[in-house]
Each structure stands twice: as C-alpha cells, then as structure tokens.
Amino acid sequence: MSRTLKEEFQHSLDLIDTLKRSSHPFVSEEYQLQVKEVLESLDQCSKMISSLGIFSDNESWEDLKTNEIVYLTIPYHKALALERVRVQGAEDRKNLVYHQVKSYNDFLKSLDHYGLLPKTHASRLESFLAGQLTIENVASKVKELSDQLRPTDAAVFRAEKIAKHKAEKELEGKLNLLQKTEAKQKDPDAPNVDEDEVRDLRKEELKLYTLKSLNTLEMLSMEVQMLARAPSRPEPPIDLMRRAQAEQDQDGRERQIEDVTGYTDKLEKNPLTEAGRPILDSMGKINRPFKLVSTRQQLQSKVRGTGQYLPTMSVEDYLEEEKRRGGIIEGGGEIPSTEKSDNDMDDEAADRETMKAREWDEFVEANPKGSGNTMNMG
C-alpha cells in the first residue's frame, strides 16, 4: 500500500530515530541497511514533492502552507544520513562528500529563496549558492565558503563562535517546544494550537538547521581539498586480471605465428633456428645452450621426448671439441714446482733471527737494568 507524502515523511523520521538508537556498529551490514532505508525514503519524499508541485519559484514565505514548511528540511536530513554511509577508497569518499555538500547546498538554496537565511550569513553564502554545484567545482566552492565564514581577525572569529553556540542552544530549546506542540496536535483531546506559533517555531527550526549545516560545511572544507588532490581510482583487480589474460592470449598467438613446430617460451631462442650454429666459437665462447651427457645413447633416447629441450653434446664430443681448439694438453712435461727451495727457506730463517736480535738490543737500551719496580721508593 502506497503512502501519502505526509506518511512517507513521517516514515523517514521514524527510520532516522531508529538509526540514532541503533545498537549495530557503524561498519556492520545491518547498520548500513538501515541507512539505505532512510535515504530511499527521503528520496521518495523528494520525488513526491516534485510531482505534486508543492514548492514553486514564484511563491514567497507567506504563500507556504504551515504543514508544508517541514518538507524544506528533507535535503538537510539526507545530508545527515549520507554522513553515516560507509565507503572504501578515496574516489568513493570523494563522490559521497560531493552528494553530501550538494544536499546542504539544496537546503540552503531553498531557504535563500524564501528569505529565511540569517542576515549575518546571507551575503557570505552568495558565491556558494550561485550557479550549479558540480563534482569538479565543489572543492573551490566549499573552500571559498569556508574563507567567507571564518573571519581573519581571531577576536572576531572567537566572538562569532560564542554567539553561534548560544544561538544553537536557544534554538534547540525552541525545537523541543516545537516537538511538544506537534504532540499536542496529534492529541484530539488537546486544545487547538495557534498556527502562527507553529509557523514561527518552524522558522526557528530552519535557523537551527542552517547553523548546523554551515558548521558541517566548514569541517568538510579541509577534507574536500584533500580529496580533490587525491590520485584517481586505480584499476580494479578484476580489470587487471582481464588485461593480463588478454596480454597472455596475445603472447600465445604471437608464439604460434613465430613457431608453428612446437612450444617454447622467450627465455631462450628457438633451438631449430640455432641448430646450424656451432656450440663453441674459436675462442671458446658458448654460442648456444647445451648440457653434457654421459653417452650418445642418452641423446638418442630423448629424441621422442616431450616438453622443452636444450641442444646437447656428449662428453666425448665436448673433449674432442676442446682438443680441436687446443684446450687439452697431451703428453708429458715438467710440472712446475710450487714448493720453495731449501736455500730460500734458509735465507728467510736467517732474516727472522737477525730481526729478533735487533729488537732485543733496542729493548735493553730503552729499559736499563734496575729501572723496573722500585717498591714505591723512587
């Protein structure tokens, strides 16, 4: 059963109240589902307001019906609900903050249209509310707004902050009075409530939400600047996998074109194209990979083998190749002696004795007899 606008808005407020009292953690799936329900209900209210044409650019504050003033707060409630959305990554956060700022912008624009913005802030909000807010200009607009709201004089800034805090406290008291008045309106036995009183309390409620909106926009200013400078979203893992698979398939097709006789990767050259080159050049440098095997029979046994293979040569072939290059000396010959002769050993021993005697003479001269411990007597 479809709800009326009044019922749908009350449903939104009930969901918001439930969300505030929720015991689920912020990051839990249950909590995020509650946030989603709030946003969907508020969006439904906005669609119904648009289709019913409740607000018009040609009407003034006096033209608004008292029971319809409350619908001006829908963008404000949406901005508060967006604060509770969980996202991952700078790009998602940037998009979320943009929608949050846009909701505040829509709320303040509607108040500006009806002349409900405080006089102290109306002039400061002109640039922020002028034109269309986009994800490209949100950073510059929020920064400019923050600069407008924050006086350069520290004393003036402190005084305005204190005055704003007092105003919020006073308006919150009036909001409590409004809630009590609404409860009386629902009670059929209660006396009729003055409409002008309700209208004035609604205006005070909008003033309170205006101050809270500006406070939040000031706090979001620094984050918006940081997100604007954040790098773009990296390629998702699924896209990386697809691209890697495509490159692998392309390499496979290239290998099939290059070598239709069999498989080989690019760690080595095709043995079939290298078969004509000698394994070693005249200087002994290896021209192509090979491995040593004990007999030629082992080579023959692998002719019909499967898988990757390397050019090989037997031990006999390797020795013959080394002999042909002159790398192997055949026949006898005098083996160079690596041992020292007896004469060399005698000369070294004599030198050591001479140095030892010289060192002893120098020690005796430097330490004459009797110059040792004198038992503290001189």
Instruction: Tell me the three state secondary structure of residue 313.
Output: strand
Evaluate the CA torsion angle 79, 172, 179, 125 in order and state its sign. Answer: negative
Q: Which residues contact 131 (CB under 8 A, 6 or more apart)?
A: 137
Extract the tokens encoding 154.
């520290």
Give residue 334's pLDDT: 56
Longest dimension (CA), the chain: 134
Nearest to 60 by CA among 112, 134, 130, 23: 112
pLDDT for 15 equals 95
Domain range annotation of the chain: 55-234, 236-266, 268-326
What are the residue ranges of helices labelled H in the chain?
A: 5-20, 29-52, 74-82, 90-113, 119-122, 126-129, 138-149, 154-186, 195-228, 237-258, 271-274, 296-301, 315-325, 342-366
Domain spanning 55-234, CATH class? mainly alpha
User: What is the structure's pLDDT at 73?
Assistant: 95
Residue 153: its pLDDT value, please?
A: 63
Q: Which residues of the chain have pLDDT under 50?
A: 235
Q: What is the pLDDT of residue 114?
A: 92
